[in-house]
Amino acid sequence: MTSPRRAFSSAVPSDCWYALSSSEDVGRDLLSVRTVAGPVVLYRTEGGAVVALEDRCAHRPYPLSAGSLVGDHVRCGLCGFVYDAGGQCVSVPTQPRVPFGACVTAYPVDERDSVVWVWLGEPGRARLHRVPDLPWLAGAGWDTVGATTEVAAGLLLLHENFADVTQVPFVAPEIAPAVLDGAPPPLDVVVTETTVELRRRFPPAPMPAWQAAMTGSGGRELATIQEGYFVSPALWVDHWDVADDDGVVARLRFTHLITPVDEGRSRLHWRVSRDFALGDADADEQMRTMFADYYARVRTAMELTQRVIDTDGPGPEVNVGADVAGLRVREIVLAMLADEGVVPATRA
């Protein structure tokens, strides 16, 4: 038996695998994660599997994450109710019989590529949706830096931002590649029922100074191929490859794992992966510092945007060619919500 599931926000699709944590952050300590479906507690069994349970005791409104692990079971720190990895209460300290219906929600979990994915919607639908593959996060031939930050802005605002790289020179000009200085070439956009892909090839130009130094490419002018992927409401991925006539010289992967906390707040797990300067601790630190600053600026910009919407409401917009991918993402998310029986407010 499962407990009643919490209702989702009207602006967030539930039919989606969301990234709740990095693998390294889940262990034999109880980890509480706030989500749009309510608080979730994560832990590993003695065999290493990740468990995700509703972080609220069925007896009283006390977080299970404030309790303790007993083998593979969780004991409530207030009343002593004990729950197994499936969310079923298996022991009550004050009586021999467990009350009928004493359980908490157990969420489907899939761990891969150093990410813990949790399905917060109806559990029977989880098997109909594939967990994304992100091999550069944990595979050989790549080094990755990243962090997690809370953003007081909705999921869709973040996706629309990541879908438009022409904003980068205005948010963080010092890291923007030279190819973004002028008018970008046209986008090739491919849209399916649930995904958006974009691609464009920039003419040869110098790499950013930091990347040229790490690759030893000097001031050579190289072509840049940008590809962007809206994989699901939980994930936007950017590929940035620089190439000469002999092939790809260096590759970057920007992974944006977006987990809704509520309608106007998200948790962003950002990762930047590279296939050059491997094993270079100084390069790691430089990129970590540089991109932490960039994503802090993105957070500030998106929070300002969210405040305008919250204060003044949706308003009219003037769109340009660079918005095409973001607008397609918006259409997909709204269609997903409609399929779930939700008709959210939209911008005029």
The answer, yes or no, to whether residue 168 has pLDDT greater than 90, is: no
Distance CA 300, CA 291 (A): 14
**Contact predicate 275/243, CB 8 Å:** no
The answer, yes or no, to whether residue 97 has pLDDT greater than 50, is: yes
Lowest mean pLDDT of 14-28, 70-84, 185-199, name the range. Answer: 185-199
Q: Residue 285: its pLDDT value, please?
A: 97
pLDDT (mean) for 162-167:
84
Are residue 25 and residue 48 in the same domain, yes or no? yes
Are residue 197 and residue 93 in the same domain, yes or no? no
Handedness of CA 136, 140, 145, 150 (dihedral sign): positive
Q: Which residue has the tokens 């590993």?
A: 44
Q: pLDDT per residue over 245-301, tens digit each?
A: 888 889 999 999 999 999 899 999 999 999 999 999 999 999 999 999 999 999 999
Averaged pLDDT score across all residues of the chain: 90
- Residue where a domain stops, chosen among 110, 128, 146: 128
Are residue 168 and residue 56 in the same domain, yes or no? no
Amino acid in position 196: V
The share of the chain scoring above pLDDT 90, in percent, equals: 67
**Contact predicate 83/90, CB 8 Å:** yes
Q: Residue 95: its pLDDT value, please?
A: 94
pLDDT (mean) for 64-72:
97
Q: Residue 155: its pLDDT value, please?
A: 93
The more confidently predicted of residues 321 and 79 is 79
Residue 141 has a CB neighbour count (10 Å cut-off) of 11
Cross-strand pairs, 201: 225
Residue 35, domain CATH: 2.102.10.10
pLDDT (mean) for 185-196:
88
Closest Cα to residue 75, out of 47, 101, 104? 104
Are residue 228 and residue 333 in the same domain, yes or no? yes
Domain annotation covers residue 214: yes
Are residue 247 and residue 186 in the same domain, yes or no? yes
Number of domains in the chain: 2
Are residue 92 and residue 193 in the same domain, yes or no? no
The answer, yes or no, to whether residue 348 has pLDDT greater than 80, is: no
The answer, yes or no, to whether residue 176 has pLDDT greater than 70, is: no
Are residue 95 and residue 140 in the same domain, yes or no? no
Q: Residue 106: its pLDDT value, please?
A: 97
Q: pLDDT per residue over 105-118, tens digit each?
A: 999 999 999 999 99
Domain range holding 331?
135-339
Handedness of CA 260, 261, 265, 266 (dihedral sign): negative
The answer, yes or no, to whether residue 7 has pLDDT greater than 60, is: no
Handedness of CA 119, 120, 121, 124 (dihedral sign): positive
Residue 179, domain CATH: 3.90.380.10
**Contact predicate 225/198, CB 8 Å:** no
User: How crowded is the C-beta side of 90, counted as CA atoms within 13 Å?
Assistant: 13
pLDDT confidence band for 1 (50 / 70 / 90): very low
pLDDT confidence band for 317 (50 / 70 / 90): confident
pLDDT (mean) for 200-207:
88
Are residue 323 and residue 201 in the same domain, yes or no? yes
Distance CA 102, CA 88 (A): 7
pLDDT confidence band for 315 (50 / 70 / 90): confident
Burial group, residue 1, by CB count within 10 angstroms (0-12, 13-18, 19+)? exposed
**Contact predicate 120/18, CB 8 Å:** yes
Amino acid in position 255: T
**Contact predicate 36/10, CB 8 Å:** no
- Residue where a domain stops, chosen among 78, 113, 128: 128
pLDDT (mean) for 40-67:
97
